[in-house]
Amino acid sequence: MLKTKNVTQWRTTVMGIIGAILVIAGLLWPDKIDPNTQQVISSAINEILIGVGALIPVIISIFGSND
C-alpha cells in the first residue's frame, strides 16, 4: 500500500508541474494556444493571484506579531 501511495503522490506532483508549465506558457505566448484553453489559463492565473493576495495578510499577521 505504501508503494501505491508514493506512486499517486509522484503522479500528482508531475501533473502539477505540467500544469504550471502550461499556465506560464499561456501567459508568455497567448497566441500559440487556442482561445478556450487561453480562457482556462487566464482564469487559473486570476485565481492564483487572488489566493496569493488573500494569503499575504495572513502571513504578515503570523510573523508580524510582537507577542
What pTM value is reported for the model? 0.53
CA distance 11 to 44: 20
Q: Which three cell numbers stand for residue 3?
A: 508503494
Q: Which sequence spans correspond to the domains of the chain?
A: 2-63
Q: Quick one: pLDDT at residue 1?
A: 46
pLDDT tens profile 2-45: 555 555 677 778 888 888 887 788 778 878 778 887 788 788 88
DSSP assignment of 6-67, as one string?
A: HHHHHHHHHHHHHHHHHHHHHHH-GGGS-HHHHHHHHHHHHHHHHHHHHHHHHHHHHHS---
Other Cβ atoms closer than 10 A to 38: 15
Q: Which three cell numbers stand for residue 6?
A: 508514493
Q: Is the pLDDT of residue 67 over 80?
A: no
